[in-house]
Every structure is written in structure tokens, then in C-alpha cells.
Amino acid sequence: MQVPAADTIDSLAIGLSDYLEKGQVNSVRRAYFYAEQAHEGQFRRSGDPYVTHPLAVAGILGEMHMDHQSLMAAMLHDVIEDTGITKTAIKSQFGNSVADLVDGVSKLNKINFSSRAEAQAENFQKMAMAMAKDLRVILVKIADRLHNMRTLDVLASEKRRRIARETLDIYAPIANRLGMNNVRVEFEELGFEALYPMRARRIAAAVKSIRGNRKEILSKIQTSIEVCLERENLPGRTNGREKHLYAIYEKMRSKRKSFSEIMDVYAFRIVVDRVDTCYRVLGAVHSLYKPVPGRFKDYIAIPKANGYQSLHTTLFGMHGVPIEIQIRTEEMEAMANKGIAAHWLYKSTDDLPSNAHIRAREWVNGLLDMQKHAGNSLEFIENVKIDLFPDEIYVFTPKGTIFELPAGSTAVDFAYAIHTDVGNSCVACRISRRLAPLSEPLQSGQTVEIITAPGTQPNPAWLSFVITGKARSNIRHYLKNQKQSESVALGRRLLTKALAGFGSQIENIPSENLNEVLQQTKLKSLDNLLEEIGLGNRMSYMIAQRLAAHSDVSADAAQEASDRLGSIDIRGSEGMVMNYAKCCHPIPGDPIIGHISSGRGMVIHTDDCNNITDIRDNPEKCVSVRWDPDVEGEFSVELRVELENQRGIIATLATTITGTEANIEKISTIERDARVSIVNLSLNVRNRVHLARVMKRVRLIKPVNSVTRVKSRKVRKTIRNVAGSH
């Protein structure tokens, strides 16, 4: 697996001349001699001259057949950081492209992923930015990390473990996302060996001990496949695939399988000349051994996100031995092993970017989009980690466009994958032509239709089931902005009412008063101040008192005047900063009072709710409110129904309630005795008139003895906990 590094610039140049022009090879040589001079007198931990490291990094990129500018950047990648030579000096010697690459890699070299989570996240953001400018930056960095992993032995054990953990967590998944399978496997093997040396040794010994027994079976299966292909006149080469140690370890750990269960599977790869032959070979092996149902995957028609293409099938071999087979073309084999790097291998100067290159670019642009919408760097890294470890599913739009999503994705994830606006206005979905819940996990092959409606907005409950980073970051971003604008609107209403008591208005506040208050509260603008009031973090009448500082009206008189000027109307459409208490369930028609709850905005209680008895006259905590005549929406209410036990009574009760256009949220039954039961219902109704109609219909059910509305449950006694009781 390990690629031998070039010992000297001459041996590297000979290898490069196979695919680069003479002038390009000479440019790489010139970069080497420049680096050799710059690093003069510097040595690696192993005692070797420092220049052996950039030479080895260039050798790795040469094995990938990378372009000459990447190889020059590899030679010079530590020059800016370690020798004091500037980017300008490199630009004048080697041109803009090479200087930008070297600068990008130098910035990545300063990234230290081992620091605490937030720093790690911010560093990953820098990496995304560097990749967006030029994908070759990350390829040079991957080659740099690969050589460092190969020479890890000289480091102290703690540093070795830190670098190994970082490689397994960050670099191996990135290599996988860019389709670089050979590099990923080597990262995992070297990282596993450094992080868990004893586990690696034990698994290696176990693999070695059973290798002899497997050899004979592998040979028999391989011969039978080759004979079958020859008989069908299908040209191709067949070889057995050995599972690498880290893959065995991860499978044992994640799938809770024993070593023998994993090693019972025999794996082969058949590489052929063209796509048409792949499908013919598939037919031939299916006629040779019986295929296992549900284990066939066509990654040729629908490639993986990283550009990987192949046919996968599992067969029942001799004596029921499972055989995993991959069938692909030579070009697919190169793409599977080199991934994004193969883009430069197959690319001539006139060519358009390859599929792998386009996919990698889309992924990086997706990262930047997530970064824009993430609330903070930790949220960003959480979304990226989801994105780096996908097991893919493939679903279709009604017009037949394929979308690839991580396993477990829902229709909401699909909606955001189409477009952010589609996700934000999504109200329902059809999965394979049937109406389905938005939270239902999608399966490969399904056709998903998203139903949208203008004026709708994301539901906070979606965050409990969405899988993709894009959906999660967009929902959070929208809700955060929505809550902010709602807080400002509510804060404006509260401050307007409070200022009215001082005979003033927001528009008439002297600018020096406003600036003084903003300075005292350490806020930047009036909107920030209104947001704080709307969220309940600042008291409106106290802010009003400071803003109207030169008014002759006393605070008590202002409060009285404010009360006389009327209550705040509750429209039901205020959004997330208006909450309805779960202890008393107020609905339109009930006399109500507003409690200002820190961080949550206003919580509406019924006027007689036990939980606010002690604070209802405190102007700092409560404000006068009333229902707007045109209040809209549905409000939660609780009913207690006492009824005689009868077969099907709960179904009758539910049908009766839904017949009145009320929605049942929750239903629970307590059996008082063998004859009588208590049913507790949580319903959504429009107002008291609607509730009265529901209760009247329920009372008409014969076995029902009584129906009562449950009001004002005592949740907490202490005033200080009122906010937490809603």
C-alpha cells in the first residue's frame, strides 16, 4: 500500500517525466533547489535534513500525477512559515498560482485541531475557506499529513496519539469525501496503529493466523470467477480484496460482530474495459452463484457523492460462503483510488472539470453556505461532521432528478437539498405518491414531492428529526432571525405603552437620552434595546423612565397613566416571543395577564392563575394584556372527562372531538375502578366559544358522566421559579 518516497530530486524528476513536460519538470527542480537553500541548516526530528520532507510530499503528489504547480507548492510549503521568506518573494520567483498555493498551505499548517472544540471548529472553517480558493491546497496538505504519518515513530507517544486522532477524525474523512481511497486507507491504518497499538497488533496477528485457511478458498472462488468470465468471453482482471485492519476494527465495534463473522466474507474486485462489460459481468457472476436479495447497488448509474462508481453485489458461494464483488472499469478504478486527484490525471488543458472535481467543488461551496448560516463555529463543525460521515440514500424528484442524502434523511432534508426557500416554505410531502409525515425517514429509490405554501416558516420541531447539516443550519438561521424580529416588534409595543405614561413616544426621545441609555446597557442600537425588552431581559417601564429622564411625571404616576391608556392586544400571531402558559392554558375569551419572563419574552396566563397570584401587581413582572378581537390561531386546552367503561368509547370520544374541528394533541386514561375511567385530553381550539361547542358535543355521548376544563394547575410556589414553570 505505501508508496516509496523519491530519495533525491533526480529520482523524482525521472518519475515526473512520464507525465509532465520537460519545462514543467525543470520548474519542479527549481522549486526544490530554492527550498533546499531556504531550509539550509534545518533538520527533522529524525535527524534528516529538513528538505527531505517537502521532497517526499512532492513524491506523494507525483504518485497521484498532480500538476507541476502543486508539486512546486509541495516543495515550498514550509518556506513561508519556517524560513522567513515572504509570499511576495515566492510570487516573483514562481508566479501567482504557486505563491497562492504555498500561502494557502502555510495557513493550514497553523491549524491545530487538538485544541478545545471551539478552536478546532474555527480552524476547520479556515480550511473550508482555503479549499474554496483552490482545491489543490487541501491535496498538498493531505500529502504533507501522509508523510508526517509515515514518519510518526520519532515523536513522543502523547504527540503521536494526538496527531493520529486528528488524522482519523479530520483528514481520513476529508480524503474519503474527495474520493481518495488509497490515502484514506493509509491514514486509517497508520492512525489506528499509532492510537491503539495493542488492538492493531492483536487484529493483525488474528488476520495472519487465518490467512492460510482462507488462501485455498479465495483461490478456488477466484478461479471459478475467471473461468466463468473466459467462458462468456468477457475480458477483465479479478483479484481478491483484503479488508484493512481499521475497517475490521470499526466493523467489529459499530456492528458488534465477532472477528470470525467479519472474516467469513470473501471479497473480490473485477476490473474491465468499459461500462457495458460491467453489466455483462454482473449477469455472468449472478448465473455462477446465487445473489443475496437486497444487496445489489448500482453506483455506476448513481455515483456516490465523492465520485465513486462501481457495481456492488453479494453472492452465496460454495457451502453458503458470502462473496462480495465489486465490478468497475479501469478509469473507475483510478477514480476510486485517487478520487479528486485523478481529475488532474485525466485532464487536458482544454477539458471541462471532471465530475469528481465538480462534486468536490459543490461540497466545498456547501461547507461555505453552512458556515454562513451557522450560529457559531461549534454548530458549523457539528454540521460538517454529519456531512463527512454519510451513508448515502438516493431519492428522486417527480421529474426524475436524483438527489443524494445521508441515510436517515427526511422530506425536510430533501426540501433544503433542492433549495433553501423550498425548505423554509415546506408544509407537507408525498413519498411515492402517498401523503406522509415530514419526519418519515426516506429510503433509496423513493420519489419525493414537496408541497409548499407561501407565508409559512420552518417549524422548530424539525430540528429534532432533520439529518443534514444544510437543513439544520438553515432552520436555526431562519428561526434565530425570526425570533429577533419578533422580539424587536414586541419590545416596541411594550416600550410604546410604558412611554405613553410619561407622555412621550419612541420617535420623540431626545438622541442624547437614547445614547445615554444605550451606553448604560452596553447595547449598540435602539433595535438591540427593543429586542432585549421583547425577550424580557430589560423592564420596559424602567427603560422608559430613563429615556424620559427629564419628564416631570413620577414612575408611579407613569405606571398609572400607562394602565389607564389600555392593555396590549394579543393577536396570536406574535410568534416565538409570545408563549402561552402550560399551567392554565389561556384561550381567547379568557381574562388574561402577561408575565415578562427573562429570555423567553411574554408568557400569557389566565387572570386567576395560581402561579402568578403573588406577582400579578408587580409592574416589573406583569403587564396588562387582552385578546385582540381578530385573534387567530389554535390554542391548547386541557379537558377532564369522566365516563363509564365501554368497548370503543375512546374511539367514539376521539371521533366526536375531531368532528367539531378540534385537534387532539394528547390523550391518556386513568381507571378509577372497573366501571368508571377518567380520560385526560389535550386539545387545540380557536376560542372559548369553540371549546364550549366541543364540551357540549362530548356531554351528549351517553357513557360520559362529566366534562370539565382543567385550569390553573399549581406548578411551582416560589415566585422566582414562575418563569421555569411554563
The closest alpha carbon to 107, from 93, 91, 126, belongs to 126
Contacts (Cβ under 8 Å, ≥6 apart) of 227: none
**Residue 400 falls in which region: left (phi positive, over 0), alpha (psi -120 to 50) or beta:** left
Helix (H) or strand (E) holding 322: strand 322-329
54, 35 Cβ separation under 8 angstroms: yes
Centroid of chain to Cα 60: 32
440, 410 Cβ separation under 8 angstroms: yes
- List residues with catalytic annotation: 81-82
Cell representation of residue 516: 445615554
Alpha helices in 451-595 (DSSP H): 469-500, 511-521, 526-534, 540-547, 555-564
- Cα separation, 395 vs 385, in Å, equals 22
Centroid of chain to Cα 465: 12
SS3 198: helix
Contacts (Cβ under 8 Å, ≥6 apart) of 339: 175, 178, 179, 180, 181, 306, 307, 308, 356
- Cα separation, 110 vs 129, in Å, equals 14
- Cα separation, 224 vs 185, in Å, equals 29
Contacts (Cβ under 8 Å, ≥6 apart) of 118: 376, 377, 378
The closest alpha carbon to 487, from 596, 603, 574, belongs to 574
Radius of gyration over alpha carbons of the chain, in Å? 34
Q: What backbone phi and psi angles, to 5 degrees, belong to 180?
A: -90, 80
Cell representation of residue 33: 533547489
What's the DSSP call for residue 49?
B
- Cα separation, 649 vs 182, in Å, equals 65
- Cα separation, 81 vs 77, in Å, equals 8
- Cα separation, 450 vs 426, in Å, equals 7
- Cα separation, 567 vs 548, in Å, equals 21
Q: Is residue 713 exposed (0-12), middle (13-18) or buried (19+ Cβ within 10 Å)?
A: middle
- Cα separation, 282 vs 297, in Å, equals 11
Centroid of chain to Cα 192: 26
Cell representation of residue 311: 457495481
- Quickly tell me which residue has 493550514 as its cell: 108
Strand partners, 434: 431
Cell representation of residue 264: 467469513
575, 482 Cβ separation under 8 angstroms: yes
Cell representation of residue 663: 385537534
Please give the full DSSP string across 496-517, using - where no structure is assigned: HHHHHTTT--GGGS-HHHHHHH
Q: Rounded to 10 degrees, what is the CA torsion of 159, 163, 166, 170? A: 160
Cell representation of residue 40: 539550509
Q: What backbone phi and psi angles, to 5 degrees, belong to 636?
A: -80, 140
410, 442 Cβ separation under 8 angstroms: yes
Contacts (Cβ under 8 Å, ≥6 apart) of 634: 663, 684, 685, 686
452, 352 Cβ separation under 8 angstroms: no
